[in-house]
Chain A
Amino acid sequence: MSEFPYLGHGIGLRPPHYAEVVNDRPAVDWFELITENFMVAGGNPRRVLREVRAHYPVVLHGVSLSLGSVDPLDATYLDRLAALAAETEPAWISDHLCWSSYGGHTGHDLWPLPFTEESLEHVARRVRAVQDRLGRRILVENVSSYLEYAHSTISEWEFLGELARRADCGLLLDVNNVFVSAHNHGFDPEAFLGGVPVDRVKQIHLAGHSDHGTHLLDSHDHPVCDGVWALYRSAVERFGAVSTLIERDDDIPPLSEVIAESRQAAAIEAEVLGRTRAEVAHAR
C-alpha cells in the first residue's frame, strides 16, 4: 500500500455529527479528525474515535503544530500526537504552513509566513524534526491569508514546492484557500495549481468561505461555491485522483448535506478522469 493511499472522498468529522456517524455508519469513504479535539485522556471524544476508526479510515489534521513559529517545537504536543497516532493508526497526519503561537502563547489562528529563504529553511527544518519524531512523513497545507508581506521573494506555490522538496514532506492542497488567497492578493489561482508539484499533493480540501466586501474569509460556514468547484475541476485535471475532503466548521448543516457535497466532488473527479470511482481507486 502506498504511504499516502487514495482514500476516495471523505468529510471532516464534527461533534454535531458524532452520534449519527457512530450509530448509522453512513456511506462515507473516510473521515478527517481535528487532532486536538481527540488529545484527551478519555471520555466521549475517544469513544467516538474508537467507534469511527473501527469502520472507516481516518486521518489526523492538526491546527497547533505552529510549523512556522520562532518558538521551539512543543515537545509535549508532539508526544501526545505520537501517542494518539499510535493508538489511532491514521492514514496520515497533516498540519498547516503558518505560525500560530508566539512566546508560548497560542493564538488559535493560522497566521501567514513571509515567503523568504529564511522562512523556507526554518519551516523545512521543523517539518523534518516533526517527521523524525513521528517516524512518518506529514502533509503540510496552504492556508487562506488576508495579508502579504512586502519582503516575500517568491510565490506561495514556489514556497510550497521547495518546502516539500527540502523537508521531503507531502502537501495538502486546500483549493478553497487557494481561491480565497487569490482573490485577496490578486493572483491567478490556476497559476497556483500549475506551480505546485504534482507528485507531492496527497490530499485536497474543499470548503466554503464568506465575502466581507474588501476580502474573502475562510469561514467554513457555507457550502462550496461554484468558483471553488471549478477550481477543483482544474485540480483534478492536474493532480489526478487525490483523496478529497469536505470541511465544514460553522453553521454546520445536517450530515446528509455534507455527504452530498462529498459526492459532488466524487462525480467531478469521475467525470474529469472519465472513470468510475471504483476504477479511480483501482488505478491508484
Chain B
Amino acid sequence: MRAEPFGRSLVALQAALYDLITAPEGVARRLGELDGSPADLEALVKPSPAMTAVERLDVYANMYFYRILDVLRVEYARVVAAVGDAEFHNAPGSSSWLGSNGRISSSTTVPMPLR
C-alpha cells in the first residue's frame, strides 16, 4: 500500500496513468515499483464484474505496446522476415539491436509472451 494514494486531480491522474500505461514492464509490475497495490489503483479505477482495475488499465497498456510493435514491424520488415514474427516479438528484452534506435530501450523492456 502506498503511503500517499494516487491523486485524483487531472494532473495527478494523467501523470500516474501515463506512467502505468506506458511502462514497458506492464501495469502490475510498475505498480509494485511505485509501492502501489491493486487496492491503490482501485481507489482510482473501478473494477468491473469481469476485470480488476489492473486488468482494465492493462487493456490500454497492451494496446500501447502493440502499437509500438506494429510500427517496428513495418520499420524493420526485413528483420521480421529474417528472424520470424515470434522471435521479433520477444527480442527487445534480450538483445540490443532494437534498442539502438532509441525507440525501445533494451535495458528496460521486458517482452510480453506471444500467445
Q: Does B1 contact A (CB under 8 A)?
A: no
Q: Which of A61-91 contact B (CB under 8 A)?
A: 68-70
On whether the beta carbons of A215 and B46 are closer than 8 Å, the reply is no
Shortest beta-carbon distance, A131 to chain B, in Å?
A: 21
On whether the beta carbons of A70 and B14 are closer than 8 Å, the reply is yes
Chain B residues lying within 8 Å of A103, measured Cβ to Cβ, are 18
A70-B10, A119-B10 given; A107·B44 CB < 8 A: no
Shortest beta-carbon distance, B78 to chain A, in Å?
A: 22
On whether the beta carbons of A107 and B59 are closer than 8 Å, the reply is no
> Please, how many angstroms separate the alpha-carbon atoms of A109 and B59 in the complex?
11
On whether the beta carbons of A186 and B49 are closer than 8 Å, the reply is yes
> Please, how many angstroms separate the alpha-carbon atoms of A108 and B18 in the complex?
12
Q: Does B88 contact A (CB under 8 A)?
A: no
A118-B9, A185-B48 given; A146·B59 CB < 8 A: yes
On whether the beta carbons of A150 and B60 are closer than 8 Å, the reply is no
Contact of B48 among A111, A122, A184, A213 (CB under 8 A): A184
A103-B18, A107-B21 given; A147·B10 CB < 8 A: no
Q: Which of B70-91 contact A (CB under 8 A)?
A: none
> Please, how many angstroms separate the alpha-carbon atoms of A186 and B10 in the complex?
25
Chain A residue total in the interface (Cβ 8 A): 29
Q: Which of A134-167 contact B (CB under 8 A)?
A: 146-151
Shortest beta-carbon distance, A102 to chain B, in Å?
A: 4
On whether the beta carbons of B18 and A102 are closer than 8 Å, the reply is yes
Chain B residue total in the interface (Cβ 8 A): 29
Q: Does A31 contact B (CB under 8 A)?
A: no
On whether the beta carbons of A107 and B64 are closer than 8 Å, the reply is yes
Q: Which of A204-232 contact B (CB under 8 A)?
A: 213-215, 217
Residue of B nearest to A71 (CB): B14
Shortest beta-carbon distance, B32 to chain A, in Å?
A: 19
On whether the beta carbons of A69 and B14 are closer than 8 Å, the reply is yes
Q: Does B63 contact A (CB under 8 A)?
A: yes
> Please, how many angstroms separate the alpha-carbon atoms of A70 and B45 in the complex?
19
Shortest beta-carbon distance, A135 to chain B, in Å?
A: 28
Chain A residues lying within 8 Å of B23, measured Cβ to Cβ, are none
On whether the beta carbons of A215 and B17 are closer than 8 Å, the reply is no
Contact of B44 among A102, A108, A149, A185 (CB under 8 A): A149
Chain B residues lying within 8 Å of A217, measured Cβ to Cβ, are 59
Chain A residues lying within 8 Å of B9, measured Cβ to Cβ, are 118
Q: Which of B12-50 contact A (CB under 8 A)?
A: 13-15, 17-18, 21-22, 42-46, 48-50
On whether the beta carbons of B14 and A102 are closer than 8 Å, the reply is yes
Shortest beta-carbon distance, A228 to chain B, in Å?
A: 20
Q: What 0/1 pattern do residues 166 to 206 of A give for CB contact below 8 A with B? A: 00000000000000000011100000000000000000000
On whether the beta carbons of B46 and A114 are closer than 8 Å, the reply is no
Q: Does B2 contact A (CB under 8 A)?
A: no
Q: A114-B10, A149-B8 are in contact. List 16 more A-B contacts (CB 8 A).
A: A105-B18, A107-B21, A107-B64, A109-B64, A111-B21, A114-B8, A114-B13, A118-B9, A146-B59, A147-B60, A148-B48, A149-B13, A149-B46, A150-B42, A151-B8, A214-B51
